[in-house]
Structure 1
């Protein structure tokens, strides 16, 4: 069974979001997603300084099996990307919630996260897969 963390918010498309102490939001893909994808070989993140919109494509993750779009859970400005994934995309497989995060957003409206799934709701989505 995949790990699902209670403190995170989720999309049914298998992205997670964590609100940091400074009010920024870190986004990545879930343990379930990385397990389903298999060995991650490439990650494309949005550019720092670009704007992302909640529910819209913000990047791509590619594995030996498939390529999947990555969606943002909040709208706002991208303030950081995980540059380590450029040289070590397998970090997503090894640590999807910690070292394998994709990008950080300074949100324009944090209440957008209220539309996201909680851990229990996301677990139900995984069980349907």
Structure 2
């Protein structure tokens, strides 16, 4: 499993890549493995406001449907529209082609509440035991 060090991670298994005052958000490699084959993704619209820890969409796989919880507060700038016709990108390339949304962060201090790659890896390896 892959845990890129430059990313931050939420307890709800989403990753965050900071790009200035923007954050790209996606589903972790661990989460996509646990979900199985992703069949659809429901995402917010550009301009929608996200509040940290609130649901902002859902992801459906053959095994289950799971809510997506915002790792950060902010305004949605972009959504990955390719996931509408190719949700398998979440499985095939979770850290690049499978990204979900780009937001303008409302409060960069919220990044301090997220986990480092090392801590996230430790957290998910404990949950597998």
TM-score (norm 2): 0.95
Task: Kindly indicate whether residue 7 of structure 2 is the aligned counterpart of residue 14 of structure 1.
Answer: no
Residue 70 (structure 2) pairs with residue 72 (structure 1): yes
- Runs ≥4 residues deviating over 6 A: none
Q: CA deviation at 1:46?
A: 1.0
Q: Tell me the C-alpha RMSD between the 2 structures.
A: 0.8
Post-superposition Cα deviations, 1:55-108, rounded to whole Å, max 9, x if no partner, equal 111110110001111111111110100000000000000000000000011011
Task: Give the aligned length.
Answer: 127
Structure-2 separation of matches of 1:24 and 1:123: 24
SS in 1 for 2:111: helix
In structure 1, the residue matched to 2:119 is: 121
Deviation at 1:33, TM superposition (A): 0.3
Q: Structure 1 stretches of 5 or more lacking a match?
A: none
Q: Which runs of 5+ in 2 are unaligned?
A: none
* TM-score, normalization by structure 1: 0.95
How many angstroms does 1:23 deviate by?
2.0
